[in-house]
Each structure stands twice: as C-alpha cells, then as structure tokens.
Structure 1
Amino acid sequence: MKKICFKIYFILLCVMILIIPLTACSNEGNEKVKIAEVTRSIFYAPQYVAIEKGFFEEEGLDVELTTAWGGDKTMTALLSNNADVALVGSETSIYVEAQGSSDPVINFAQLTQTDGTFLVSRTKIDNFSWDQLKGTTFLGQRTGGMPQMVGEFVLKKHSIDPHQDLNLIQNIDFANISSAFASGTGDFVQLFEPTASVFEKEGAGYIVASFGTESGHVPYTTFMAKQSYIKENSETVEKFTRAIYKAQQFVQKESAKTTAELILPYFEDTDIEIAETAIDRYKSQGSFATDPILDEEEWNNLQDIMEEAGELPKQIDHNTLVNTEIAEKVIK
C-alpha cells in the first residue's frame, strides 16, 4: 500500500514539475508595460475594459497601471522613465515640446474625443440657457488644464466673459472641487462623471449642460510615449494600440450595463446604476473614441481652445507630436 501511495505521489510530483516551467514561461513571455493614468475615471472605461477582458494579455503584454493624480505628475512619471506610456490630455505633450525637449512626447492612440465634464447647477432648472450663468459664482477647474480651457472656450462661445460676467473660482484642487460644491461653494460647478450623476441622484445638484457636446471633438485624453520608446519598442506599441482598439469596439457594441459591470472593480465606491448612467451618457455624446486615430482636425481644435484660453505656448503641427501610422495599421 505504501509503495502504491509513493508511486502516486511521485507521478503527481512529476506532473507538477512539468507544469510549473510551462506556466513560468508563459508569464515570462509577456512584456511589461507601465501605464500612468492622469486620474481614475469612468471616462477612461475602454482602458479598464482592455485590462479586464484580457486584450493586453492576448497581445502578449503585462500592463501595470498606476494613477498619478495630475497632468504634471503623469508627465513627470513618463519623462523620468517611471512609466512607459501615459494616459493624459494631449495639451501636456505641447507644453513639453514648447520647453525644447530633445525626446518629444508622441500621441499614438486616442482614448476620449470630447471633454468629459458637465455643468451642474445647485438648483433645478427646467429651461436652461447659458446666459443664466451671468452674475453667478462658477466653481471651475484648475488653470492650464483641459477642463478649464474647454470650460472657458464654451462660455465665450455663448458670449460670456468668464473673468468679467461671473465670479470664477479656480483655486481649489481637482480632488476637492466636488466636496467644495457640496459644502455650499458656488452656484454652478464643472464636474466629471460619475460625480455629476451622484450629485443628481442625491439632489445635491442637477446636470444642465455638457461641455463635451458644446466644444466638439478634441484629443482630450490620449496614450502617449517618448519618441525614443516608440522607436525602440515599435511592436510593443502596436500591440498596445491593438488592445485598446479591441476595447473601444467592445464598449461601442456592448451595453452600458455590460461595460459598467466589467469595470466596477476600479470604482468600488460607485453604485452600478451610477456607473451605467455615466457610461451611457458618455456613449450618447460620443466621448469614447471608436478608434485610436487622432486626426488633424481634432488636433487643431485643441490648439484653438488652448489659444482662446491664453495657454498655447506655440502652434505645433499635427505630424510633429502625433503618430497615426500605428493606429491606422491596427484598424486595418
């Protein structure tokens, strides 16, 4: 009996010895890519879908995602090689280029193509018009960031001078804007989802307009990497872009509920219904890019918005900081 048990044990041990190297080889075969995202947001749903659905793994990539909490911190991580890829607003690549970088930051895959903020009113307004903001206190976003620039662009589009026609507050950190509004600061506030929908559900605020709808298509959030990294890791960047494209197609084809259930682990404090509402709202206004191509019209619109806000250091050609060849190859 002891001999039989020993034989069984020996066979199982051999099987384990054979399996372990195969598993190790499989993991070792995946190339690691470090992503730094500017913030954690439902606005970036396709990125989380790419991770959860295993699209990166299918391409032989092992992604490590960290949240930098700010455009400057995200770009610092990229430039210091603490990240291989950054997910951040395209305006940051323009700021870096204007400073005379010897290794430009190249936009290679677009994730979102509109602004992701909404105008939230403290009181319910049945028939909203933009001129109702005049004379009010508006809690905006930080100076130099895309939400603030788009916000001012839209206000001016509706003949509102943000610095003369209303009391504009911009000295509150991004992370504290929602809590400041909740505590009574401001008549209107510019918020991302899902915070805007949470406020509406709780009766603390009411969504009255979309800055994304008003401002048109812009490369609001894109994946970018240093030119040297793309040159040295061209196949990796192509695989990365293909995984993102798969996720973009998934989000477009599947229901908002399906996507919400998939990415909810990234938003543990968010109710599934709120997540679904936010995703549906972004889908309906075309905020999620359906492919990773960042075209010239969007790029020029971005620079128009930056120039209107007085934040454009200099005009930069589309082909200087944007690589569309990778995305074009992937979607074919």
Structure 2
Amino acid sequence: MFNKIRRHIVGAVTILLAVTIIAAGCSNNSSNDKVRVAEVTRSIFYAPQYVAIEKGFFEEEGIEIDLTTTWGGDKTMTTLLSNGADIALVGSETTIYVYAQGTNDPVINFAQLTQTDGTFLVAREKPETFAWDQLKGSTFLGQRKGGMPQMAGEFGLRKHGIDPHKDLNLIQNIEFANIANSFASGTGDYVQLFEPTASLFEQEGIGHIVASFGKESGKIPYTTFMTKQSYLNENEDVIERFTRGLYKAQQWVDSHSAKEIAEVIAPYFDDTPIDLIETVTQRYKEQHSYATNPILDIEEWNNLQTIMDEAGELPKQVDHDILVNTEIAEKVAQ
C-alpha cells in the first residue's frame, strides 16, 4: 500500500498528467535564463545551493534563480509537475514514485546536492558510552512513514540488529513540524532530528547527539535537482549552465571552512545564530554530506532503492539510466 507521501504524489500525477502532457509543448525555451527552483525545505543541509546564489556562480553562467520553498515532498513535486517550477530540489525517491504511475513525461535527476541522510539520533539522557542496543525497548520518535528520513533511519537501525517495529515503541503519528517540540516536552527516549534542531537541543541540554543516520545509511542521492524530461529536452543548455554553477559552489564548499560557509549562507537563516550555522555546517562537512560534484552514480542509486525496498516502500525497481541523467554532470565536472 502506498504511504501518505506516495498517495499525495500519485494524486498529483493523476490530476496533473493531462496538464503536463499539454504543457510539455509549451515550455519556455533556453532564451529565458530565469530558472524557477522549488526547494523542499529551507535547510543548512543545502548549503552549496545558497553558496551558488550568493557567490554569483549561477549568475556567471547567465542564470537568474527564482527560489521558492515549497515545504514538503508532495508539494514540491506537484509544483514541478504543474509547471510552477522549472527545477525541483527534493529527494530522488519522489521520481520513482512518479515514474511508477506511468507518466509519459518522467522527472529526471540531473544533479546531486547531498549524498547522505541528514538526520541524527538524539538521546534524552547522555550515555557514558553509546551502544545501539540501548535503544531496545525504548520509545522512539521517528519521522513520517515512507519519507526518506524514516527509511534511512530504519535502515540504520536494522544494520545494528534493531527491528524498528518490534524492538522499539515507535511513534510516527506526530506531524513533522511538531516532532522536536514533542521530544522537548518529554515524549520519547530517543528522537530522529534534522539540524540545526539536533545541535540546538544539545546546546540547551534537551538531548544529546549520539549517532548519525547519515553515516549509517551510506552514500545515497538524498537530495537532488530534477526536472521534467520535456523541460530538459528543450532547455538542455540552461540545465548545463545551472549544473556548472552548482559544481562551482560544490567545489567552493569543499575547499572552504565551515565558518566561511556559514558567513555566506547566513542571510538564508535569519533566526539561526551564525555560530550554530557553523556548527551544523562543520558536522555535515565531517560526514561528507555535501556532494563535491553533481554526478549521481549507479551505486548511490541502487543503495537508495535498497533502502526503500527494505522499508517496504519501493513500488518497482527502476534502472539508473531511466531516471538519472549523468551526461551533463559528467561534462561539467571534467
């Protein structure tokens, strides 16, 4: 049975399929260098994207970015499918969900931004020495069923001999926006959190980071830039220049300190102290979450599908060359 995320995406595909087919012939051509990007959320996890904008790397390639935060995988994909955006930044699993519904204008992953999961395991009590079997019998606040964070989290737990549905009191009925508040209010012994909340909780003594699900799940195309095949066909030059601007930013992030990166991306996080942005950036750099080039390779793609399959959320196996275009990224990275 499709999970909630997939049901939303399926609904979007069903309603918008006819519109998408018609609109495919009406796309803007490459003479329009304004590119509308819909990001799934606003996150320090996406630092290279903001660096590319702030350091003028997209502008150097003749690209003007119109960035919108769409807050959720289903909303982001709906925005892309309905021509509300030219490019989406969201988890690659969404392209598989859409493809499984039989669309004739599939969504193609063309540039990878992050290559690990971005969540951390936070314990209420700080152990003298952490061991994964300490979680057995505990109350665990997980992420939304079927979403990439939860699937990667479950993969990490199983890796250490923990069945998340048998060995834990797993809570998954709390809305994403309320998970952190629920833990802060006293619910749960452990929680799976994104940054900067995980580090903020540690600073405030609410919880303690004891493990990284990004390290446990290995390299996966966690967040990628994607576009409809029709847009790619008609605007390949724009996509190539966009990818080149991104690659410049990826290289810049890889060669600069967390402090320097934090100073550049701070305008995107008005409510977050710059020292916290630096802490989070350093944590992501240390675990190699930021991809250093835009190439989404076969091994990462297969790892993604393995994680989805083990979670019972993979609708069908899809070959790498069907939903991933590496030609542009490889050309840019040469």
Distance 2:183 2:73 in 1: 23
- 1:134 aligned residue: 136
Q: CA deviation at 1:30?
A: 7.0
Amino acid at match of 1:77: T
Is the 8 Å Cα contact of residues 118 and 211 (structure 1) preserved in structure 2? yes
Distance 1:216 1:188 in 2: 21
Q: Does 1:292 align with 2:294?
A: yes
- 1:121 aligned residue: 123
* Partner residue of 1:187 out of 183, 186, 189: 189
Distance 2:309 2:55 in 1: 39
- Matched position secondary structure for 2:66: strand
Amino acid at match of 1:49: V
Distance 1:238 1:141 in 2: 35
Distance 2:239 2:178 in 1: 35
Distance 1:34 1:125 in 2: 46
Q: CA deviation at 1:200?
A: 0.4
Distance 2:188 2:76 in 1: 29
* Partner residue of 1:157 out of 156, 159, 164: 159
Q: How do residues 139-288 of structure 1 correspond to structure 2 at under 5 angstroms? A: 139-288=141-290
Distance 2:216 2:128 in 1: 19
Name the Cα RMSD after superposition: 0.9
Distance 1:177 1:248 in 2: 31
Q: CA deviation at 1:185?
A: 1.2
* Partner residue of 1:303 out of 302, 305, 310: 305
- 1:330 aligned residue: 332
Distance 1:109 1:126 in 2: 41
Amino acid at match of 2:187: T
Amino acid at match of 2:306: D
- Matched position secondary structure for 1:72: helix
- 1:75 aligned residue: 77
Distance 2:168 2:291 in 1: 33
Distance 1:329 1:321 in 2: 18
Is the 8 Å Cα contact of residues 114 and 286 (structure 1) preserved in structure 2? yes
Distance 2:186 2:104 in 1: 47
Q: Considering only CA atoms, is the larger Rg found in Structure 1 or Structure 2? A: 1
Q: CA deviation at 1:126?
A: 2.2
TM-score (norm 2): 0.90
- Matched position secondary structure for 1:142: coil
Q: CA deviation at 1:225?
A: 0.2
Distance 1:232 1:128 in 2: 53
Question: Once the two structures are aligned, what percentage of the paired residues are identical?
Answer: 74
Q: Does 1:110 align with 2:112?
A: yes
Q: CA deviation at 1:162?
A: 0.6
CA deviations on 1:176-217 (whole Å, 9 max, x unpaired) are 111111111111010111111000001111000000001100
- Matched position secondary structure for 2:84: coil
- Matched position secondary structure for 2:104: coil
Distance 1:211 1:63 in 2: 31
* Partner residue of 2:100 out of 98, 101, 114: 98
Distance 1:72 1:163 in 2: 25
Amino acid at match of 1:68: T
CA deviations on 1:139-194 (whole Å, 9 max, x unpaired) are 00001110000011111111111111111111112121111111111110101111
Distance 2:42 2:55 in 1: 18
Q: Does 1:63 align with 2:65?
A: yes
Is the 8 Å Cα contact of residues 30 and 57 (structure 1) preserved in structure 2? no
Q: CA deviation at 1:101?
A: 0.8
- 2:36 aligned residue: 34
CA deviations on 1:46-99 (whole Å, 9 max, x unpaired) are 000001111111111111111111000000000000010000000000000001
Count residues with an aligned counterpart: 304
CA deviations on 1:31-51 (whole Å, 9 max, x unpaired) are 110000011110000000001
Distance 1:129 1:273 in 2: 30
- Matched position secondary structure for 2:332: helix
Amino acid at match of 2:72: G
Distance 2:32 2:124 in 1: 49
Distance 1:87 1:64 in 2: 13
Is the 8 Å Cα contact of residues 30 and 61 (structure 1) preserved in structure 2? no
Amino acid at match of 1:211: F
Q: Which runs of 4+ in 1 moved over 3 A?
A: none
TM-score (norm 1): 0.90
- Matched position secondary structure for 1:36: strand
Distance 1:184 1:102 in 2: 48
Distance 1:69 1:181 in 2: 22
